[in-house]
Structure 1
Amino acid sequence: MTELSEKAAAEGVALRVGVVLEHNGAVLLLERDEYAEGRSTLSLPGTIVRAGEPLATAVARAVAEETGLTVVDIHRHLGSFDYLSNAGKPVRREHFAAEVAAVSPVRLTNYAAYRWLPLDGDLPVTSSIRAILTTYRA
Protein backbone atom coordinates (compact mmCIF):
# COMPACT_ATOMS: atom_id res chain seq x y z
CA MET A 1 0.00 0.00 0.00
CA THR A 2 2.93 2.30 0.62
CA GLU A 3 3.87 2.01 -3.07
CA LEU A 4 0.41 3.27 -4.08
CA SER A 5 0.79 6.33 -1.86
CA GLU A 6 4.30 7.03 -3.10
CA LYS A 7 3.23 6.72 -6.74
CA ALA A 8 0.33 9.14 -6.25
CA ALA A 9 2.62 11.64 -4.52
CA ALA A 10 5.20 11.38 -7.32
CA GLU A 11 2.46 11.94 -9.91
CA GLY A 12 0.96 14.88 -8.02
CA VAL A 13 -2.49 13.40 -7.51
CA ALA A 14 -4.57 13.55 -4.34
CA LEU A 15 -5.59 10.17 -2.93
CA ARG A 16 -9.00 8.90 -1.97
CA VAL A 17 -10.03 5.38 -1.01
CA GLY A 18 -13.16 3.41 -1.81
CA VAL A 19 -14.13 0.25 0.02
CA VAL A 20 -16.07 -2.80 -1.14
CA LEU A 21 -17.94 -4.51 1.70
CA GLU A 22 -19.74 -7.73 0.82
CA HIS A 23 -22.26 -9.74 2.82
CA ASN A 24 -24.11 -12.81 1.50
CA GLY A 25 -23.42 -11.90 -2.12
CA ALA A 26 -24.48 -8.26 -1.75
CA VAL A 27 -22.40 -5.09 -1.69
CA LEU A 28 -23.00 -2.11 0.59
CA LEU A 29 -23.85 1.03 -1.39
CA LEU A 30 -24.57 4.46 0.04
CA GLU A 31 -27.13 6.98 -1.21
CA ARG A 32 -26.80 10.76 -0.91
CA ASP A 33 -29.72 13.10 -0.28
CA GLU A 34 -29.19 15.06 -3.44
CA TYR A 35 -28.82 13.86 -6.98
CA ALA A 36 -26.11 15.47 -9.11
CA GLU A 37 -26.80 15.45 -12.86
CA GLY A 38 -24.80 12.73 -14.58
CA ARG A 39 -23.79 10.96 -11.36
CA SER A 40 -25.17 7.88 -9.74
CA THR A 41 -26.84 8.37 -6.41
CA LEU A 42 -25.15 5.21 -5.06
CA SER A 43 -21.51 4.92 -4.09
CA LEU A 44 -19.07 2.86 -2.07
CA PRO A 45 -17.88 4.03 1.34
CA GLY A 46 -14.79 6.17 0.88
CA THR A 47 -12.82 9.19 1.97
CA ILE A 48 -9.93 11.52 1.27
CA VAL A 49 -6.57 10.19 2.44
CA ARG A 50 -5.02 12.66 4.88
CA ALA A 51 -1.42 13.81 4.44
CA GLY A 52 0.90 11.07 5.73
CA GLU A 53 -2.00 8.72 6.53
CA PRO A 54 -1.41 5.05 5.66
CA LEU A 55 -3.97 3.72 3.18
CA ALA A 56 -5.04 0.96 5.59
CA THR A 57 -5.86 3.62 8.19
CA ALA A 58 -7.83 5.61 5.63
CA VAL A 59 -9.83 2.50 4.65
CA ALA A 60 -10.75 1.76 8.27
CA ARG A 61 -11.56 5.43 8.94
CA ALA A 62 -13.75 5.73 5.82
CA VAL A 63 -15.85 2.73 6.79
CA ALA A 64 -16.12 3.80 10.44
CA GLU A 65 -16.99 7.42 9.66
CA GLU A 66 -19.50 6.72 6.90
CA THR A 67 -21.17 3.54 8.19
CA GLY A 68 -20.23 3.03 11.83
CA LEU A 69 -18.83 -0.42 10.93
CA THR A 70 -15.40 -1.67 12.03
CA VAL A 71 -12.90 -3.00 9.50
CA VAL A 72 -11.10 -6.11 10.76
CA ASP A 73 -9.21 -7.02 7.58
CA ILE A 74 -8.33 -5.60 4.18
CA HIS A 75 -8.35 -8.50 1.73
CA ARG A 76 -6.93 -6.97 -1.43
CA HIS A 77 -6.41 -3.99 -3.65
CA LEU A 78 -9.00 -3.86 -6.45
CA GLY A 79 -7.59 -1.12 -8.63
CA SER A 80 -8.01 2.58 -9.09
CA PHE A 81 -9.30 5.28 -11.38
CA ASP A 82 -8.32 8.90 -11.85
CA TYR A 83 -10.62 11.90 -12.21
CA LEU A 84 -10.68 15.65 -11.69
CA SER A 85 -12.18 17.05 -8.50
CA ASN A 86 -14.83 19.76 -8.63
CA ALA A 87 -11.94 22.22 -8.24
CA GLY A 88 -10.19 20.74 -11.28
CA LYS A 89 -7.45 18.96 -9.29
CA PRO A 90 -6.29 15.43 -10.20
CA VAL A 91 -7.52 12.72 -7.85
CA ARG A 92 -6.84 8.98 -7.73
CA ARG A 93 -9.32 6.73 -5.96
CA GLU A 94 -7.77 3.45 -4.83
CA HIS A 95 -10.23 0.65 -4.00
CA PHE A 96 -9.94 -2.17 -1.51
CA ALA A 97 -12.03 -5.16 -0.46
CA ALA A 98 -12.43 -5.23 3.31
CA GLU A 99 -14.11 -7.32 5.96
CA VAL A 100 -16.03 -5.81 8.87
CA ALA A 101 -16.59 -7.22 12.35
CA ALA A 102 -20.38 -7.08 11.89
CA VAL A 103 -22.61 -5.80 9.09
CA SER A 104 -25.04 -4.04 11.39
CA PRO A 105 -26.03 -1.69 12.69
CA VAL A 106 -25.13 0.68 9.88
CA ARG A 107 -25.00 4.25 11.21
CA LEU A 108 -24.80 6.79 8.40
CA THR A 109 -23.24 10.22 8.73
CA ASN A 110 -22.91 11.74 5.23
CA TYR A 111 -25.59 9.74 3.47
CA ALA A 112 -29.37 9.54 3.48
CA ALA A 113 -29.68 5.76 3.07
CA TYR A 114 -27.82 2.55 2.39
CA ARG A 115 -28.61 -0.61 0.49
CA TRP A 116 -27.12 -4.08 0.31
CA LEU A 117 -27.53 -4.90 -3.38
CA PRO A 118 -26.73 -8.22 -5.11
CA LEU A 119 -23.33 -8.18 -6.78
CA ASP A 120 -24.72 -10.14 -9.73
CA GLY A 121 -27.37 -7.51 -10.48
CA ASP A 122 -27.27 -4.39 -12.64
CA LEU A 123 -26.02 -2.00 -9.98
CA PRO A 124 -26.90 1.72 -10.23
CA VAL A 125 -23.30 2.95 -9.98
CA THR A 126 -20.91 4.83 -12.24
CA SER A 127 -19.02 2.93 -14.93
CA SER A 128 -15.81 3.41 -12.91
CA ILE A 129 -17.32 1.77 -9.82
CA ARG A 130 -18.86 -0.95 -11.99
CA ALA A 131 -15.35 -1.80 -13.27
CA ILE A 132 -14.04 -2.02 -9.69
CA LEU A 133 -16.91 -4.34 -8.74
CA THR A 134 -16.26 -6.48 -11.82
CA THR A 135 -12.65 -6.86 -10.68
CA TYR A 136 -13.88 -7.73 -7.19
CA ARG A 137 -16.23 -10.44 -8.51
CA ALA A 138 -13.45 -11.97 -10.61
Structure 2
Amino acid sequence: MTATSPEFVSSLVADADAAGITGFVAAAVISHDGRVLLVRRNPDDYMGGMWEIPSGTVEDGESILDAMHRETTEETGLTVDEITSYVGHFDYQNSRGGTTRQFNFAVTVEQIEPVVLTEHDAYQWALPGELPEVSDAVRRLITA
Protein backbone atom coordinates (compact mmCIF):
# COMPACT_ATOMS: atom_id res chain seq x y z
CA MET A 1 0.00 0.00 0.00
CA THR A 2 1.28 3.44 -0.87
CA ALA A 3 1.04 6.54 1.33
CA THR A 4 -1.58 7.97 -1.00
CA SER A 5 -3.84 4.92 -1.30
CA PRO A 6 -7.34 5.37 0.14
CA GLU A 7 -6.93 2.12 2.09
CA PHE A 8 -3.75 3.35 3.78
CA VAL A 9 -5.24 6.73 4.68
CA SER A 10 -8.38 5.00 6.02
CA SER A 11 -6.20 2.80 8.21
CA LEU A 12 -4.49 5.90 9.67
CA VAL A 13 -7.88 7.35 10.59
CA ALA A 14 -9.14 4.05 12.02
CA ASP A 15 -6.04 3.64 14.19
CA ALA A 16 -6.35 7.21 15.51
CA ASP A 17 -10.08 6.78 16.21
CA ALA A 18 -9.38 3.52 18.07
CA ALA A 19 -6.77 5.34 20.18
CA GLY A 20 -9.32 7.99 21.18
CA ILE A 21 -7.61 10.82 19.31
CA THR A 22 -9.80 13.93 19.21
CA GLY A 23 -8.07 15.99 16.51
CA PHE A 24 -6.13 15.39 13.32
CA VAL A 25 -3.36 17.50 11.81
CA ALA A 26 -1.67 16.87 8.45
CA ALA A 27 1.93 17.95 7.88
CA ALA A 28 4.46 18.16 5.05
CA VAL A 29 8.17 17.44 5.43
CA ILE A 30 9.63 19.45 2.56
CA SER A 31 13.31 18.78 1.89
CA HIS A 32 15.71 20.43 -0.54
CA ASP A 33 19.48 19.98 -0.80
CA GLY A 34 19.60 18.13 2.50
CA ARG A 35 17.66 20.84 4.35
CA VAL A 36 14.11 20.81 5.73
CA LEU A 37 11.68 23.72 5.51
CA LEU A 38 10.69 24.99 8.96
CA VAL A 39 8.25 27.76 9.84
CA ARG A 40 8.11 29.63 13.17
CA ARG A 41 4.89 30.11 15.12
CA ASN A 42 3.95 33.72 15.85
CA PRO A 43 4.97 34.79 19.37
CA ASP A 44 1.33 35.24 20.51
CA ASP A 45 0.19 31.80 19.21
CA TYR A 46 -0.07 28.60 21.21
CA MET A 47 3.55 27.39 21.52
CA GLY A 48 4.66 30.77 20.15
CA GLY A 49 8.22 31.01 18.82
CA MET A 50 8.47 27.26 18.24
CA TRP A 51 9.67 26.09 14.84
CA GLU A 52 7.66 23.39 13.06
CA ILE A 53 7.03 21.81 9.71
CA PRO A 54 4.09 23.19 7.70
CA SER A 55 0.96 21.62 9.15
CA GLY A 56 -2.65 22.25 9.99
CA THR A 57 -5.97 20.91 11.10
CA VAL A 58 -7.89 18.39 9.03
CA GLU A 59 -11.30 19.99 8.59
CA ASP A 60 -14.60 18.11 8.82
CA GLY A 61 -15.22 16.20 5.60
CA GLU A 62 -11.64 16.69 4.40
CA SER A 63 -9.16 13.86 3.87
CA ILE A 64 -5.77 13.89 5.58
CA LEU A 65 -4.05 14.22 2.19
CA ASP A 66 -6.30 17.06 1.05
CA ALA A 67 -5.60 18.88 4.32
CA MET A 68 -1.84 18.43 3.89
CA HIS A 69 -1.99 19.89 0.37
CA ARG A 70 -4.20 22.80 1.47
CA GLU A 71 -2.25 23.64 4.62
CA THR A 72 1.10 23.52 2.81
CA THR A 73 -0.15 26.03 0.26
CA GLU A 74 -1.89 28.22 2.86
CA GLU A 75 1.13 28.39 5.18
CA THR A 76 3.99 28.59 2.67
CA GLY A 77 2.58 29.48 -0.74
CA LEU A 78 4.22 26.29 -2.06
CA THR A 79 2.38 23.62 -4.02
CA VAL A 80 2.92 19.96 -3.22
CA ASP A 81 4.05 18.12 -6.33
CA GLU A 82 4.34 14.57 -5.01
CA ILE A 83 3.92 12.68 -1.75
CA THR A 84 6.99 10.45 -1.57
CA SER A 85 6.22 8.63 1.69
CA TYR A 86 4.40 8.56 4.99
CA VAL A 87 7.00 9.27 7.66
CA GLY A 88 4.91 8.56 10.74
CA HIS A 89 2.82 10.37 13.30
CA PHE A 90 3.06 11.78 16.78
CA ASP A 91 0.46 12.77 19.34
CA TYR A 92 0.39 15.92 21.44
CA GLN A 93 -1.90 17.82 23.76
CA ASN A 94 -3.62 20.62 21.88
CA SER A 95 -4.57 24.08 23.15
CA ARG A 96 -8.05 22.81 24.11
CA GLY A 97 -6.68 19.99 26.30
CA GLY A 98 -7.48 17.17 23.88
CA THR A 99 -5.08 14.89 22.06
CA THR A 100 -4.16 15.64 18.46
CA ARG A 101 -2.41 13.24 16.11
CA GLN A 102 -0.14 14.80 13.51
CA PHE A 103 0.25 12.71 10.34
CA ASN A 104 3.52 13.51 8.54
CA PHE A 105 4.27 13.03 4.84
CA ALA A 106 7.53 13.56 2.97
CA VAL A 107 6.73 15.60 -0.13
CA THR A 108 8.29 17.39 -3.03
CA VAL A 109 7.05 20.80 -4.12
CA GLU A 110 6.72 22.30 -7.59
CA GLN A 111 9.11 25.15 -6.71
CA ILE A 112 11.00 25.85 -3.46
CA GLU A 113 10.50 29.59 -3.67
CA PRO A 114 9.10 32.02 -3.07
CA VAL A 115 8.00 30.96 0.43
CA VAL A 116 5.05 33.20 1.32
CA LEU A 117 4.12 33.12 5.01
CA THR A 118 0.55 33.81 6.14
CA GLU A 119 0.42 32.25 9.61
CA HIS A 120 4.06 32.26 10.74
CA ASP A 121 6.62 35.01 11.31
CA ALA A 122 9.73 33.38 9.78
CA TYR A 123 10.97 30.39 7.81
CA GLN A 124 14.28 28.69 7.24
CA TRP A 125 15.78 25.74 5.40
CA ALA A 126 17.50 23.91 8.27
CA LEU A 127 20.02 21.10 8.30
CA PRO A 128 18.73 18.15 10.34
CA GLY A 129 21.78 18.33 12.60
CA GLU A 130 21.38 22.10 13.19
CA LEU A 131 17.72 22.52 14.07
CA PRO A 132 16.43 25.60 15.89
CA GLU A 133 13.88 25.29 18.73
CA VAL A 134 11.56 22.50 17.58
CA SER A 135 9.52 20.05 19.63
CA ASP A 136 11.15 16.74 20.54
CA ALA A 137 8.64 15.00 18.24
CA VAL A 138 9.60 17.16 15.25
CA ARG A 139 13.31 16.68 16.04
CA ARG A 140 12.88 12.89 16.08
CA LEU A 141 10.89 13.03 12.84
CA ILE A 142 13.50 15.09 10.99
CA THR A 143 16.60 13.36 12.32
CA ALA A 144 15.29 9.76 12.05
State the TM-score, normalizing by the size of structure 1. 0.87
Q: Per the alignment, do residues 28 and 121 of structure 1 end up closer, same or farther by CA in structure 2, a change over 3 Å counting? A: same
Match of 1:15 among 24, 27, 30: 24
Give unpaired runs (5+ residues) of structure 2: 1-8
CA RMSD of aligned residues (A): 2.0
Q: CA deviation at 1:30?
A: 0.5
Q: Secondary structure at the match of 1:8?
A: helix
> Residue by residue, what CA displacement relative to the aligned partner does 1:42-78 show, whole Å, maximum 9, x if unpaired?
1110000112311111111111000000001111111
Asked whether the equivalents of residues 40 and 126 of structure 1 are also in contact (C-alpha less than 8 Å), the reply is no
Measured against aligned partners, the alpha-carbon deviations of 1:73-104 in whole angstroms (never above 9, x if no partner) come to 11111111112212111111111101100000
Match of 2:92 in 1: 83
Structure 1 unmatched ranges of 5 or more = none
Q: Secondary structure at the match of 2:125?
A: strand
Shift of 1:125: 1.2
Q: Is it true that 1:92 corresponds to 2:105 in the alignment?
A: no
> How many pairs are equivalent?
135
Is the Cα–Cα contact under 8 Å of residues 42 and 48 in structure 2 kept in the other structure? no
Identify the residue that residue 41 of structure 1 maps to in structure 2.
Answer: 50
Q: CA deviation at 1:122?
A: 4.1
Q: TM-score scaled to structure 2, two decimals?
A: 0.84
Of 77, 81, 94, which residue of structure 2 is paired with 1:72? 81
Contact 1:56/1:74 (<8 A) preserved:
no
1:59 and 2:62 correspond: no
